[in-house]
Structure 1
Amino acid sequence: MKLGKVEFCHFLQLIALFLCFSGMSQAELSRSRSKPFFQSGRSRTKRSWVWNQFFVLEEYMGSDPLYVGKLHSDVDKGDGSIKYILSGEGASSIFIIDENTGDIHATKRLDREEQAYYTLRAQALDRLTNKPVEPESEFVIKIQDINDNEPKFLDGPYTAGVPEMSPVGTSVVQVTATDADDPTYGNSARVVYSILQGQPYFSVEPKTGVIKTALPNMDREAKDQYLLVIQAKDMVGQNGGLSGTTSVTVTLTDVNDNPPRFPRRSYQYNVPESLPVASVVARIKAADADIGANAEMEYKIVDGDGLGVFKISVDKDTQEGIITIQKELDFEAKTSYTLRIEAANKDADPRFLSLGPFSDTTTVKIIVEDVDEPPVFSSPLYPMEVSEATQVGNIIGTVAAHDPDSSNSPVRYSIDRNTDLERYFNIDANSGVITTAKSLDRETNAIHNITVLAMESQNPSQVGRGYVAITILDINDNAPEFAMDYETTVCENAQPGQVIQKISAVDKDEPSNGHQFYFSLTTDASNNHNFSLKDNKDNTASILTRRNGFRRQEQSVYYLPVFIVDSGSPSLSSTNTLTIRVCDCDADGIAQTCNAEAYVLPAGLSTGALIAILACGLLCKSCQNNNNVLQLSYFLLHFFVVPFGESVNIPLDGVLLTK
């Protein structure tokens, strides 16, 4: 017999109700039926509601209301005198009741995942009085779960890594699926996991979702990434269960399981002998299938005849071995070198050392190529000496250069005139002999640094440079002289034997044993009565007074000729004049004035007369030449000078007069 959709839904409800009833014991049914709900103060017969526990299947899709259950009071005689009222969650909007029969129906599709149960209240009223015949009672309508939600991986898709060569059973990552169905009822939310894609490399534990390696010795260098599809199925994986999937990208991380290997067993490089020290000769690289730190290299020269000539280092960015020169190459001395070079990983995984050594070697041969080199001087610097008294054309010294190439081309010499602008020297083009071309003066230039050029005769572009330092030796050709311009004074009140000046001398010459000067007064001055000279024997001399009572009025300046002799061979001498000024000094012997002389008025000439004489000159503006008047005034003053008198200072046209 074929059932319609509505009939099929009612059939499912009946099955659910049957299961609910079958789960209740006989005692529970009896208690449910006999439980009293209302007792008044007066003695009356027990009455109670009569209904079963209500369950409603979720997701009902029928067009007719879904029958939920029936409310019934034992006071209802079936004569229509009792009216049933329903209130609470979903009353009227979701659940309706037939007030005559107490039948409850659901009018909307219910979803347990939105709300699992509804709490309602029921009343039985007397239809005529509208008064309750039973106390209001609360009951629950539970939404019966069906398997309508598939498992979901809320954290997917997943990414994970596991070291290559991991043993079977190594945990990779755990995936978790969530099912929104009721975990307390049936198997709707009981999930099992399985792997749909990724076998035979990986497996998943059905209950926990832990993904593990399933094959040994998975090699990153063969394949470094795997895409897994994991399924979660409810109903414990049985037929009819719902399922969900997620993807897991597993990357094999690198371990140092591959030794370095040179792609070639030998290499050869040609380098010119002129390559400077520290230049790169070659770059070699050992291949390593690993990556990152596991592929980092160390290179070293382990054998060969170029151990001291070359060195190898690693380029941190490219992991190449860089071979550089440590010493200058010389084709004429050695034409080739052989190096044995080893490459090794810095940190090898001990698990794989049994596979063999984690290093490799190769041979590098370096061929030195000949280069046409410029002439080379036998010495980097030629120090030479010559007296400043030497004659023009005398030989100073010789330089020598040769062609280092096997051709040994002849060499011609010349002087770089940028280093000998005054052309003091010449050089023989063939022999390298250096001679003087001009007179030399040590006091003008004590050292001449010149550059000598050596040029190959067969290839003039090849030029070598030699350096010559010519030191000019001193001769005694300069006389000594005062070390400075002395400003010597003597006080009018100086006492005999008083030192008024200490003098020293200088000499442009530089004798090897140092200077020694001898001081004296000239023959003409040696017998003077004013000053004497004392040689201190330490290249200084002292000037002393021989009398007292120097007067500026008598003589204001003295000139003292000093004779100085050096210790050269032959010795040289000079006469230097010391100027001594007579000064008016204070009590401490400090000069106050030295230039102006004092004029003292005679006793018979009053101050008024002096002023009158000067006033004549100042006030005579009509005179043709005022200077004549002033000169006459000065003459009159000088004429009347006497040794004693009162003094007064009168400034007149820049001349200081004293009365």
Structure 2
Amino acid sequence: MIESTPPGVRFPLGSGRDPDIGTNSLQNYQLIPNPLFSLVVRESPDGTKQPELLLEKSLDREKQRNHSLILTAADGGDPVRSGTTQIKINVTDANDNAPVFTKEVYKVQLLENLPEGSLAFQVKATDSDEGVNAEITYSFSDISNRARQLFTLDSRTGDVKIKGSLDYEEGKRYEATVEGKDGGGLSAHAKVHIDILDVNDNAPTLSLLPILNPIPEDSVPSTVVAVINVRDRDSGDNGAVSCTIDGDLPFRIEPSSENTYKLIIAMLAKALDREEAAFHELVLRASDGGEPARTGTARIRVAVLDANDNAPVFSQAEYTVRVPEDVPVGFTLVTVTATDADEGLNGHVKYS
């Protein structure tokens, strides 16, 4: 008997037999009381009584799949004689139950460095029916094109796997709707919220904007040589960057604004001296706060322009010359020489 049978339907039962005649023959049928079934006895034109089982209430296989009834046939003799039979009813399934997901909303967090093919999560639905009516097929019913490129759903198991490269910097959150449909066509839906978690997979990058290069050697301390912009695509500590300069050089780095630094001349007694170093090779280093930290570097060559900061120096502090009294006019008595550490016109010495 299928569970979708509506109340009021009758099921003919087999008739009892009694070889006696008259009042001693079969006179009546009785059914042990049952809340779902009752007995209707229909009498044929020839006087034969035909028992019928009447369904009083709706069946539910999921609550009770088997029913056992006792039917009694009695004659009219004295004493009364009777016989009994057992009626076994097996309730067969109807697709009267839709699938039910274990969660209305699946909330998932995934690290962005999970490799392709990894199991991200699983959706699961159950169905109280049986057989084909309980076989559930899973599918995405509402999902963006980008999410469909990243995730695949196994229609049989409900396993959601990664099929593309996750990137927190490209997409931090995805939403989708999953459908579970049974073999009879009934379906259910659940929401899926996927949050991508950042990992420190990006090193800082530095870009330089020269402001004063080459720089005069007599420039005052704190003169800005270049502006440095630092960028890290990660977030949180992974994207928190500090900037330093390598070596003991007459320059330092000073924060300007968020992710921006200034390369300036250090406040030293003698910051720059072209005569000691005509240029400086600087290595700028930016490190993030990840664990382990990632580092980016940039190089800049700062040329130093000459300033006229050196006076000429004679080869001797004093020249002593002995001149004979008969020296002719135009005779060279002595040659003096002076040098200047500066360059160009600043280093060209004139005598007078």
Band the TM-score falls in, shorter-chain normalisation? 0.5 to 0.7
Q: CA deviation at 1:263?
A: 3.0
Relative to structure 1, is the Cα distance of residues 156 and 191 closer, same or farther in structure 2, using a 3 angstrom cutoff?
same
1:83 matched to 2:137 = yes
1:195 corresponds to: 245
Q: CA deviation at 1:71?
A: 6.5
Q: CA deviation at 1:157?
A: 11
Contact 2:226 2:262 survives alignment (8 Å)? yes
**Partners of 1:274 and 1:163 in 2: CA distance:** 44
1:171 corresponds to: 224
| Aligned with residue 145 of structure 1, among 193, 198, 215 | 198
The equivalences for 1:386-405 within 5 A come to none
1:224 corresponds to: 278
Which one-letter code corresponds to 1:255 in the other structure? A
**Partners of 2:287 and 2:277 in 1: CA distance:** 30
Q: CA deviation at 1:232?
A: 0.4
Which one-letter code corresponds to 2:284 in the other structure? I
| Aligned with residue 236 of structure 2, among 155, 162, 186 | 186
Q: CA deviation at 1:255?
A: 1.9
The equivalences for 1:499-538 within 5 A come to none
Contact 2:227 2:260 survives alignment (8 Å)? yes
**Partners of 1:92 and 1:225 in 2: CA distance:** 55
Q: CA deviation at 1:53?
A: 3.3
Relative to structure 1, is the Cα distance of residues 103 and 56 closer, same or farther in structure 2, using a 3 angstrom cutoff?
same
Q: CA deviation at 1:231?
A: 1.1
Q: CA deviation at 1:193?
A: 0.6
Contact 2:105 2:191 survives alignment (8 Å)? no
Q: Secondary structure at the match of 1:294?
A: helix
Q: Which runs of 5+ in 1 are unaligned?
A: 1-46, 276-280, 300-320, 322-340, 342-659
**Partners of 1:81 and 1:239 in 2: CA distance:** 47
Question: Per residue, is there more strand in 1 or in 2?
Answer: 2
**Partners of 2:242 and 2:191 in 1: CA distance:** 40
Q: CA deviation at 1:100?
A: 5.2
2:301 corresponds to: 249
Q: CA deviation at 1:84?
A: 2.4
**Partners of 1:141 and 1:124 in 2: CA distance:** 19
Relative to structure 1, is the Cα distance of residues 104 and 179 closer, same or farther in structure 2, using a 3 angstrom cutoff?
same
Contact 1:60 1:110 survives alignment (8 Å)? yes
Q: CA deviation at 1:155?
A: 4.8
Larger radius of gyration: 1
**Partners of 1:78 and 1:284 in 2: CA distance:** 114
**Partners of 2:168 and 2:107 in 1: CA distance:** 17
Contact 1:83 1:99 survives alignment (8 Å)? yes
Contact 2:105 2:193 survives alignment (8 Å)? no
Contact 1:196 1:230 survives alignment (8 Å)? yes
The equivalences for 1:102-501 within 5 A come to 102-113=158-169, 115-118=171-174, 120-129=176-185, 132-134=187-189, 141-155=194-208, 160-181=213-234, 185-197=235-247, 199=248, 201-205=250-254, 208-214=260-266, 215-218=268-271, 219-235=273-289, 240-264=292-316, 265-266=318-319, 286-295=338-347, 299=350, 341=352
Which one-letter code corresponds to 1:60 in the other structure? L
Q: CA deviation at 1:204?
A: 1.8
RMSD (Å), alpha carbons: 4.4
1:60 corresponds to: 114
Select the structure with the greater relative contact order (CA < 8 A; seq sep ≥ 6): 2
**Partners of 2:194 and 2:345 in 1: CA distance:** 66
Q: Which runs of 5+ in 2 are unaligned?
A: 1-99
Q: State the aligned residue count.
A: 237
Q: CA deviation at 1:186?
A: 1.9
Q: Secondary structure at the match of 2:346?
A: helix
TM-score by length of 2: 0.53
- Tell me the percent identity: 29
Which one-letter code corresponds to 2:151 in the other structure? F
Which one-letter code corresponds to 1:59 in the other structure? N
Q: Secondary structure at the match of 1:212?
A: strand
Deviations 1:393-433 (A, max 9, x none): xxxxxxxxxxxxxxxxxxxxxxxxxxxxxxxxxxxxxxxxx
Deviations 1:337-377 (A, max 9, x none): xxxx2xxxxxxxxxxxxxxxxxxxxxxxxxxxxxxxxxxxx
Deviations 1:597-649 (A, max 9, x none): xxxxxxxxxxxxxxxxxxxxxxxxxxxxxxxxxxxxxxxxxxxxxxxxxxxxx
1:26 corresponds to: none
TM-score by length of 1: 0.30
Which one-letter code corresponds to 1:188 in the other structure? N
1:97 corresponds to: 153
Which one-letter code corresponds to 1:193 in the other structure? C
Relative to structure 1, is the Cα distance of residues 82 and 61 closer, same or farther in structure 2, using a 3 angstrom cutoff?
closer
Contact 1:159 1:248 survives alignment (8 Å)? no
**Partners of 1:241 and 1:78 in 2: CA distance:** 53
1:543 corresponds to: none
Contact 1:83 1:126 survives alignment (8 Å)? yes
